[in-house]
Amino acid sequence: MGGEQAGKLGLFDPAKPPAAMMLAFCACYVDVICVLGLFHTFTAFVTGTLVVLCTEIFTLPDDAKLKLVVLATFFAATLGWYELVVRLKAAGRLRLAPLLTLEAAILLCFMLVALLAGPLEHPLAMATIAAVVISTLAMSLQNVIMSELLSYHAPTTFMTGNTMRLIAGLVSGWLATTPAAPDQVTDARARAIQHAQVILAFVSGGLMAGFGMMHLGFWALLLPVVILLVMAAAQRPELAPG
């Protein structure tokens, strides 16, 4: 039975690296869509939002207000998602599949709002704010999923940290001048590979999003929606990851 379920999950097994890679792909994909379509707004990467906010306060005040909406929404939504996860965990009902499905549904709502209200011509238009809030709800949920259910993987929105850990793994696993125990070398190499895979997936998502946004507009959001739904459908309903 266990073998059959493992076979069913395949690459979508949350314990395997491709799970984190696909979520990293989706995170950068959505952020690039938001940067291109929502006045240089990040909804998955708070650091980016803070950097842009600090510049736009002095150059584009209206755009800066939109970044404040992102930060407020991200904070409030993350509190709500954490509360939901805690309650589900306490009730023994915490599962990955419903959360991935919920993220996909929220991203689909983001796409529909952006399409129906388009073109989005002003950062403080109600349609723009609605699109930003909905996208932030989805990506804050993904951050909570990674933190609470898939924390054994490399982070999917923290590429600075991933790069630092990749470099540390390269040094410890291949470039160290002092001898190390074989198991330590193996572990360092595995960590380096894990972080490299997530970084490459993140960059791939960004490149594909840029291409998709140029040619399809907000319809390009269908790709991460499909990825999340496929991942959700492949999960074992009776087991939580971890």
pLDDT tens digit sequence for 92-133: 999 999 999 999 999 999 999 999 998 888 999 999 999 999
DSSP tally for the chain: helices H, then strands E: 9, 0
123 prior amide bond cis, ω within 30: no
112 by Cβ neighbours in 10 Å (0-12 / 13-18 / 19+) ranks as middle
Q: What value does the CA radius of gyration of the chain take, rounded to a whole number of Å?
A: 19
51-82 per-position pLDDT tens digit? 999 999 999 998 999 999 999 999 999 999 99
166-223 per-position pLDDT tens digit? 787 677 766 666 666 777 777 777 888 888 888 899 999 999 999 999 999 999 999 9
How many C-alpha atoms does 37 have within 13 Å on its Cβ side? 34
62 by Cβ neighbours in 10 Å (0-12 / 13-18 / 19+) ranks as exposed
Please tell me the distance from the alpha carbon of residue 112 to that of residue 124, in angstroms, as a whole number: 18
What's CA 195's distance to the chain center, in Å?
15
Q: Which two tokens stand for residue 71?
A: 């930060």
Topology, domain 13-233: Growth Hormone; Chain: A; (1.20.1250)
Whether 19 and 96 have beta carbons less than 8 Å apart is answered as no
Please tell me the distance from the alpha carbon of residue 11 to that of residue 13, in angstroms, as a whole number: 6
Most confident range (mean pLDDT) of 11-15, 146-150, 182-186 is 146-150
Whether 69 and 129 have beta carbons less than 8 Å apart is answered as yes
Please state the domain extents for the chain. Answer: 13-233
